[in-house]
Amino acid sequence: MLGEGFARYEWHNVAGTRTLILKVGSASDNLLIPSVSAPDKASSECAEDMDEHVGPRRMILIVPGNPGSIQFYEEFAVRLWELLGASKADAVWGVSHAGHVFHSSLTEEIFDGNDYPNLRFQITHKSHFVRECIPESVEEIVLIGHSIGVYISLKVLDELSRSSWSDRKLRVIGLFPTIERMAITPHGRLYTPVLRYFRWFLLLTVYGLSWLPEGLQRLVFRWYGPDMADHHFCAIRGLTNYHSFRNSILMARDEMEQVLELDGDLIERYVDRVVMYYGNCDHWCPVDYHTNIKQMFPAGQFHLCDQGYEHAFVLKHSLPMAQLVAKWLT
């Protein structure tokens, strides 16, 4: 248990796909943690189930990076909810990427006519969730995107703001954003050829891992990360499934090919509704990307990390990042 906050996982139908949702609350809310190994038992439709959740005035919705299992963000979400005062006025939820968390019918799902959930579908998926699955009591929605989740969140902000969807306030906090020129970053140059030509090797490796007993998998992952939390292990173990891992790396290929020049017009339209936090040692987003956007929008809230936090902050720095975000929210 992380503290006074509890994390609950639920499966919901979002844009026609079964999606794992994280919700944070207090013990008095009877928020128990069901087994994520039996997703069918927790399945429900958004409209039916979420109408019961009334009360919060502000929704903080976490949009993950890639891989997009929301389980990686459990500690961050709980800490953030606690730092916001553990108030019933605030809800902290997170939504997994479509197809990134294995369930029994994953192999049967079709994603807008495609056999994998591409980057465009993930934007549609999150837009659908915001439109259809947020309680009616919510007056303000804050999308907290991480990595490619920032790109997705900005697209959702633009789509919903341009539509007649709602008069709710909507803004974005972007953590370690990958919103431009991904393929030419240090990691992009390394992984783009792998994603294009050597996917088969990655898939074969994961397929082999999937046959290992859970205990042996745990030993392998503990060797790689001896301080790995249980929720990190659950998230990583879920990626040892061939189908969810394939969806993740195909989406990563899309990112390299489609996240190109910075959409300055979009940033300009919503600069007063966007906060971003860049890493100073981020191989997915070099420091000069922060320098450039700060020069383009000097009055914008574009911060540069001075603590050495890594791109995958959820593995080691959930608490200090939650503290930063809480300051921007209060």
Instruction: Please identify every residue annotated as catalytic.
Output: 147, 282, 311
Task: Evaluate the CA torsion angle 58, 144, 77, 291 in order and state its sign.
Answer: negative
Peptide bond before 298: cis, by omega within 30 degrees of 0?
no
Residues 143 and 170 sit within 8 Å (Cβ to Cβ):
yes
Tokens standing for residue 127: 């837009």
Q: Is 16 left (phi over 0), alpha (psi -120 to 50) or beta?
A: left
What is the token pair recorded at 315? 């593995």
Using CA atoms, how far apart are residues 95 and 115, in angstroms rounded to an integer? 21
Bridge partners for 140 per DSSP? 58, 169
Match 């001896």 to its residue by tokens: 226
Rounded Cα distance between 259 and 122, Å, is 14
**Six-digit token pair at 4?**
């006074």
CA 181 to chain CA centroid, nearest Å: 20
d(CA 316, CA 314): 6
Distance, CA of 154 to CA of 249 (rounded, Å): 22
Give φ, ψ of 22 to 5 degrees: -105, 135
